[in-house]
């Protein structure tokens, strides 16, 4: 601070309190904008994300039925469009 601000005199005290009030106002505005941004982000996050996949129980039944009929894992993968891990997971349930 290289200002000639004499805080012992009334004029200096007034200037100091005005500077403090301006700084506090600026900080309050910043917090308000930040809170709005966080809320907008959270609202968008609730809408975004991975789309729900197919009903898992229907696929599980289909996978188990295919396996019982003698199909190989690779054939089940090709027919259902699922990964090897997903096929094995469905068979383990």
pLDDT for the residue 65: 93
* pLDDT tens digits for range 32-48: 999 999 999 888 877 76
Burial label, 92 (beta-carbon count in 10 A; 0-12, 13-18, 19+): exposed
* pLDDT tens digits for range 61-73: 899 999 999 999 9
pLDDT for the residue 54: 60
Q: What average pLDDT does range 70-82 have in this prediction?
A: 94
Burial label, 2 (beta-carbon count in 10 A; 0-12, 13-18, 19+): exposed
Output the CA torsion sign for 50, 52, 57, 63.
negative
Neighbouring CB atoms inside 10 A of 85's CB total 9
pLDDT for the residue 87: 92
The fraction of the chain above a pLDDT of 70, given in percent, is 86
């Amino acid at each position: 601070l290289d200002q000639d601000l004499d805080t012992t005199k009334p004029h200096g005290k007034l200037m100091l309190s005005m500077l403090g009030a301006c700084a506090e106002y600026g900080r309050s505005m910043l917090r308000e904008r930040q809170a709005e941004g966080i809320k907008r982000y959270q609202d968008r996050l609730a809408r975004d994300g991975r789309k729900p996949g197919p009903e898992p129980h229907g696929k599980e039944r289909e996978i188990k039925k295919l396996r019982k009929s003698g199909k190989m894992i690779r054939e089940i993968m090709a027919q259902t469009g699922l990964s090897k891990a997903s096929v094995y997971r469905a068979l383990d349930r």
